[in-house]
Structure 1
Amino acid sequence: MAASTWNLDKSHSGITFSVRHMMITNVRGSFNDFDAVVSADASDLTGLEASLTIDVNSIDTKDEGRDGHLKSPDFFNAEQFPQIAFKKTALVAKGGEDYALTGDLTIAGVTKSVTLNTEISGPAKDPWGNTKFGVVADGSISRSEFGLSWNAALETGGFLVGDAIKIHIELEFAQA
């Protein structure tokens, strides 16, 4: 079979993250506006071509003040760098639905190669005859490697914001 286009089903997709706060708990957030472009052969998804873009201004941590600070030059600098981008460079099968997905991640103008533990499910037909597949990807990045290094020292030692950002992505695609 030839590669075909797959459309992102945004109502069944999400991008979330968490980061350590004050060294005692995690703050969670999401990005509400994102898109993905995928081209793949349904009979062999390992050859898929994929890219993901995220609107930085859609960040939502359930605190408008914090969201505003994250959009500022202290962190994402959304005015100058309005998008986060990921472009797949490799997909290695690890057995069953498990893969290692590697790609170039660009945040605030800095691009680094990252590898995410990934599950790819499907393709399968939904009750309306549409062919779909799902991707779940998890990983961790160092925010300071992307220039997001703002922080504040705590009186008891340590820092206000952790460096490791845990990423969780769930995307569902329908064959065009």
Structure 2
Amino acid sequence: MAIQTWQLDTTHTTVGFTVRHMVVAKVHGRFTRFEGKLTLQGDDFTKASVEVKLEAASLDTGVEARDNHLRSPDFFDVAAFPKLIFRSKRVEAVKGDHYRVVGDLTVRDQTHEVVLDAELLGRAKDPFGTERIAFQATTHLDRKQFGLTWNQAMEAGGVLVGERVDISLDVQAVPATVPADKAA
């Protein structure tokens, strides 16, 4: 069984997150700079491995002041902890094209196991002849586990920033042999 290494096509991959704000609303954000690789053994995805590194400073919620606060020591402390890293430990088949990707996520030098609910969306060649593989995955985590504990009590009750963070990934990958400027 041939082993294939794939790299994330960063122009066609989105790493997004959502968190409650003021109890009643949600704030959406994403990381804009990252790299990752996927190693496959044929079509048996239970033998796959994944590693992704996100640049913490690349987070973007669309509001510069909020992004700067999230980059500060109150949250990600990007000067001291520049990367968020996910490394898979195993992939479990669920049903059909659905999988559970179990791995370790490291944020602020704190590592905890997370489980991604993933779906293989398919494989195809783009109009330029480059083979692509696409996945979608979701998970959620408690940000306090990773040292992201800053908050502020609301006068009417509750807190400014929710503890649960929902993460959604839309991933396209190309063979690692494809030069980065040809992946787009």
The secondary structure found in structure 2 opposite 1:40 is strand
Deviations 1:4-42 (A, max 9, x none): 211221111010101000001000111000110122124
The secondary structure found in structure 2 opposite 1:10 is coil
- 1:170 Cα deviation from its structure 2 partner: 1.1
| Counterpart residue number, 1:118 | 118
| Counterpart residue number, 2:31 | 31
Counterparts of 2:97 and 2:65, CA distance in 1 = 40
The answer as to 2:106 corresponding to 1:106 is yes
The answer as to 2:91 corresponding to 1:91 is yes
Counterparts of 1:92 and 1:4, CA distance in 2 = 19
- 1:126 Cα deviation from its structure 2 partner: 3.0
Counterparts of 2:48 and 2:129, CA distance in 1 = 22
The answer as to 2:12 corresponding to 1:12 is yes
| Counterpart residue number, 1:147 | 147
- Give, as a single letter, the amino acid of the residue that structure 2 aligns with 1:128: F
Instruction: Give the TM-score normalised by structure 2.
Output: 0.91
Verify the 8 A CA contact 2:48 2:90 in the aligned structure 1: no
The secondary structure found in structure 2 opposite 1:12 is coil
Aligned length: 176
| Counterpart residue number, 2:66 | 66
Verify the 8 A CA contact 1:42 1:123 in the aligned structure 2: no
Counterparts of 2:128 and 2:55, CA distance in 1 = 31
| Counterpart residue number, 2:137 | 137
- Give, as a single letter, the amino acid of the residue that structure 2 aligns with 1:22: M
User: What RMSD, in angstroms, separates the aligned Cα atoms of the two structures?
Assistant: 1.2
Moved >6 Å (runs of 4+): none
Q: How do residues 77-88 of structure 1 correspond to structure 2 at under 5 angstroms? A: 77-88=77-88
| Counterpart residue number, 2:180 | none
Verify the 8 A CA contact 2:88 2:104 in the aligned structure 1: yes
Deviations 1:48-80 (A, max 9, x none): 121000000001011111111101111011100
The answer as to 2:172 corresponding to 1:163 is no
The secondary structure found in structure 2 opposite 1:145 is helix
Instruction: Give the TM-score normalised by structure 1.
Output: 0.95
Verify the 8 A CA contact 2:7 2:35 in the aligned structure 1: no
